[in-house]
Structure 1
Amino acid sequence: MILFPAIDLFDGKVVRLTRGDYQQQTVYSSTPSVFAKKWQDDGAEWLHIVDLNGARDGVMRNLAAVREIKKATTCKLQFGGGIRNQESAEAAIGEGVDRIIIGTKALDSDFLGKMLAQFGSQIAVGLDCRNNRVQTEGWLQSKGITLFGMLEVLNNFPLETIIYTDILKDGMLKGPNVTELARVLERSKSRIILSGGISTLADILDIRKIRAENFEGAIIGKALYEGALDLKQALAVIQSRRS
């Protein structure tokens, strides 16, 4: 099981949103590489990076910050936000990104198929859901597609990784939706990464109990920045299960 510290970027700064609301934005640093190095020093092997400008507007605006993070760490990078065409995917990979996340454009089956044919395991799909409905355009729009309907579609693709986010849990520091996660793990053929709500060591202990073979790990965001959760301790809890 992998823990992915999140670095959300808006106008080149590290920020966190509450439930995906761009009006509820807290700025933590104007130098993203500082946090990247901190999470690496704490033991992170992967970093989860989101270009919030790109997610909302459809055009990546924070690749310079990604470049600096890549220079500052040896962590693997998982990156999304604004990847809506082949050129943007190639640009992200060109900056050293190891896995790119397709969100809004994953609803376009032809596009997703072409991306998987070209990039294979470097592609992940982000399923961001509010009340069981898939949200797009930086969580600002809904196409009326259900979470489990979308999972059925994705099961037809050679897709290795899905990132499942419960938007109503995101940034609330009230624990993840493990009940819904269990249903997602059961219905999906892909590996699942959980995002949203993890805020305490108790939450880490809860998800550590998950035995589904396709559970890859979890993304942690606001809890790290607010000091509610210590990454070193969380990783130690995960390691204790392995030993």
Structure 2
Amino acid sequence: MTIYPAIDIKNGRAVRLLQGRADQETVYATNPAEVAATFKAAGSEWVHVVDLDGAFAGSPHNLAQIEAIVATGMKVQMGGGMRDRAKVMRALEIGVSRVVVGTRAAESESFVAELVAEFGQRIAVGIDAKAGKVAVKGWVDTTGVDAIEMAKRMDAIGVSTLIYTDIGTDGMLTGPNLAAQEEIAHAVTAHVIASGGVSKREDVVALAEIEKRRPNLDGVIVGKALYEKRVDLADLLHLRAG
């Protein structure tokens, strides 16, 4: 299971939002690249980066900070405002390893299919769910689209990586929605990365147990628990290796 430490960027700073709410912001660092460097020093190869300004506005606002993270030598999985081909291309050009499409994926399967045909495994789809329904535009709007049905459709058009976030648990440090994560992994053949709610080492252990049954649940994003020092990244990476 790949551990993806997370950096959410808003106004150039590394922050965390409670359940995605812009008015519930905690600033953890003024230089996101320095945070990434600590993740690399702990042994992480990947970092999951969200341009929150981009997610809310529909166009990336923090590419300079993301380029600086790329310069640390880490593989960057990045989302936030990736709503047309030009924006995806720009992210790939600055060295992002995998671009995450969320809002536009919920609106247009053909858009995703075209990206997958052109860029293959460098395209991931983020499915953010609130009570089982897909949320978009930085989680501001909830659609009537069923999250599992969307996952199946993305899987069918060849998306190799799905990131499933349970909004109800994100930033709450209450533990991930294990049942929902297993249900998504059971429904698709794509790789699934779990996101939302990790609060302690045991949460990652529990997801690793699901991986034994559903080998495609092979990644987990860890955010607030790292910043609040409830988990140690080097320990999680060692757990994964073991």
TM-score in terms of structure 2 length: 0.97
Worse-superposed segment, 204-213 or 221-230: 204-213
2: CA distance, partners of 1:148 / 1:168: 16
2: CA distance, partners of 1:114 / 1:238: 34
User: Could you give the per-residue CA deviations for residues 100-119 of structure 1, whole angstroms, max 9, x where no partner exists?
Assistant: 00000102012111111111
Alignment of 1:141-156 (within 5 A): 141-156=141-156
User: Could you give the per-residue CA deviations for residues 148-167 of structure 1, whole angstroms, max 9, x where no partner exists?
Assistant: 22123223211100000000
User: Could you give the per-residue CA deviations for residues 174-200 of structure 1, whole angstroms, max 9, x where no partner exists?
Assistant: 111111111111101211000001111
1:222 corresponds in structure 2 to 224
1:25 matched to 2:25? The reply is yes
- The number of aligned residues is 239
1:116 matched to 2:119? The reply is no
1: CA distance, partners of 2:193 / 2:28: 24
Q: 3-state SS of the aligned residue for 1:193?
A: strand
1:61 corresponds in structure 2 to 61
> Identity of aligned pairs, percent?
38
User: Could you give the per-residue CA deviations for residues 116-161 of structure 1, whole angstroms, max 9, x where no partner exists?
Assistant: 1111110000000000000000011122101122123223211100
2:239 corresponds in structure 1 to 237
1:35 corresponds in structure 2 to 35
5+ unaligned residues in a row in structure 1: which ranges? none
Segments ≥4 residues shifted beyond 4 Å: none
2: CA distance, partners of 1:148 / 1:206: 21
1: CA distance, partners of 2:109 / 2:202: 38
1:125 corresponds in structure 2 to 125
Aligned-residue RMSD, C-alpha: 0.9
User: Could you give the per-residue CA deviations for residues 70-106 of structure 1, whole angstroms, max 9, x where no partner exists?
Assistant: 12x2111100000111110010001100000000010
Q: 3-state SS of the aligned residue for 1:23?
A: coil
Q: 3-state SS of the aligned residue for 1:27?
A: strand
TM-score in terms of structure 1 length: 0.96
Supply the AA of the counterpart residue of 1:147: A
Preserved contact between residue 171 and residue 224 of structure 2 (Cα < 8 Å): yes
Q: 3-state SS of the aligned residue for 2:156?
A: coil
1:161 matched to 2:161? The reply is yes
2:96 corresponds in structure 1 to 97
